[in-house]
Amino acid sequence: MTETPDSKRDTADPRSAAMTASDVDVWFAREVLPLEAALMQFLQHHWRNRSDVEDLVQDVYVRIYEAAQKEIPEHPRKFLFTTARNLLIDRARRAQIIPIEALPDPETLDIAVDTPGPERNAIARDELRRLQEALDRLPARNREAVVLARIEGLTGREISQRMGLAEATVSHHLSNGIAALADMLYGDAPKDGGK
């Protein structure tokens, strides 16, 4: 996870200093992030104010991180939803808005609805289509910058030359594009299961 998208780097790369992927980071990316869409649905369903959901996800992640740094949970899915539920209970208690009993018990929650594993090909195909759709949904300039960075492997400076835009502008497009991609790839539930 510490590798950079491009490896056009010197050996004396300052980038390695701050971000060394911990076990927790790797675990979080592999086990927790793919559940983000389900987590958001859960929160939307059980929290009155939808505009809070994004912030609630952030708070759940912080709690998950805190716990995982002590010990990596064995059952990520169950742990995630229990954490989410506890957060909602704390919030509800503080705000005194909904009775705690209204919240579902994770034990009884239908959260283990892992779809039966489709064949490998179909996964690859879905992933590709999902990526493609996410890319297509970006604003034009954001997409152009992302495509140049990702598919053509250009640096920011090269992209600014290619697009004929100031470097700060390119940086803005690229950063927006990447942020939006992250939301679409993790946050957004797939439109439908099949074709």
Partner 1 sequence: MSDLPAREVKAAAADWFERRNFWEWTAENEAAFAEWLNASLAHRAAYVRVEAAWKRTERLTVLKSSVRRPVQTPQRERTRFWFFGATAATIAAAAIIGAITYWPSTEPEAQTYATAIGGRETLALTDGSRIELNTDTQLRTQITARERKVWLDKGEAYFQVKHDAAHPFVVIAGNHRVTDLGTKFVIRRDATKMEVALVEGRAQVDALNSKANAPSVEMVPGDIVVATANRIETRKKPVAALSTDLAWRQGLLIFKRSTLAEAASQFNRYNREKLVVDGSAAQLKIGGTFQSDNITDFAEVAREVLGVHVARRGDQTVISRQ
Number of residues that bind partner 1 (CB under 8 A): 64
Choose one: 41-49, 73-81, 96-104, 144-152; the region binding partner 1 (CB under 8 A). Answer: 144-152
Q: How far apart are CA 47 and CA 96, in angstroms?
A: 13
145 class by beta-carbon count within 10 Å (0-12 exposed, 13-18 middle, 19+ buried): buried
Question: 31 or 106, CB closer to partner 1?
Answer: 31
CB of 71 to partner 1, least distance (A): 16
Question: 91 or 104, CB closer to partner 1?
Answer: 91
Q: How far apart are CA 179 and CA 195, in angstroms?
A: 26
- The only residue of 97, 152, 166, 189 in contact with partner 1, by rule CB under 8 A: 152
Choose one: 38-46, 55-63, 71-79, 96-104; the region binding partner 1 (CB under 8 A). Answer: 55-63
CB of 115 to partner 1, least distance (A): 18
Binding letters toward partner 1, positions 93-132, x by CB under 8 A: ----------------------------x--xx-xxx-xx
Our finding on whether 28 is near partner 1 (CB under 8 A) is yes
Question: 5 or 117, CB closer to partner 1?
Answer: 5
Q: How far apart are CA 28 and CA 192, in angstroms?
A: 25
Binding site for partner 1 (CB under 8 A): 1, 4-6, 13-15, 17-19, 21, 25, 28-29, 33, 54-55, 57-59, 61-62, 64-66, 121, 124-125, 127-129, 131-132, 135-136, 139-140, 143-144, 146-153, 155-157, 159, 164, 167, 171, 174-176, 178-179, 181-183, 185-186
